[in-house]
């Protein structure tokens, strides 16, 4: 039985303040690199806006997929894509196996 007087186990997650510091550092690093490569402030702000737009659309699609899965019990976009790929793989394997068997039968006669 564990001793409850011991210190709690340390988690592997990053502290919130450290996470924020890392985000600020990497954003600053990306801005410096972009400016060194010759991208002006106008271009930097433009591409930052484009990136935020893509992130926003992706998050909205993920949220819609999650709500659809929870409310309807149907698979989300990612799960449905995996199902389609699995069906295609099975169909391709069946097709190749059928062709192989016919080729072997034709060569035996």
Global pTM reads 0.47
d(CA 17, CA 14): 8
Q: Is the pLDDT assigned to residue 6 strictly greater than 90?
A: no
Q: Would you tell me the crossing angle of helices 77-108 and 41-72 to the nearest 10 degrees?
A: 80
pLDDT class for 41, splitting at 50, 70, 90? confident
Q: Is the pLDDT assigned to residue 1 strictly greater than 60?
A: no
Residue spans per domain, the chain? 15-74, 76-109
Find how far residue 26's CA is from the centre of its chain. Answer: 20
Assess contact for 35 and 44: CB atoms under 8 A: yes
Task: Compute CA distances 7 → 2, 3, 12, 14, 15, whole Å.
Answer: 11, 9, 15, 19, 18
pLDDT class for 70, splitting at 50, 70, 90? confident
């Amino acid at each position: 039985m564990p001793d409850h007087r011991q210190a709690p186990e340390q988690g592997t997650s990053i502290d919130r303040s450290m996470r924020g510091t890392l985000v600020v550092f990497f954003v600053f690093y990306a801005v410096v690199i972009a400016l060194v490569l010759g991208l002006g402030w106008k271009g930097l702000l433009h591409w930052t806006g484009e990136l935020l737009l893509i992130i926003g659309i992706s998050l909205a699609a993920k949220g819609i997929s999650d709500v659809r899965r929870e409310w309807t019990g149907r698979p989300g976009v990612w799960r449905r894509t995996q199902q389609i790929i699995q069906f295609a793989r099975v169909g391709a394997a069946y097709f190749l196996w059928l062709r192989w068997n016919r080729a072997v039968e034709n060569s035996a006669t």
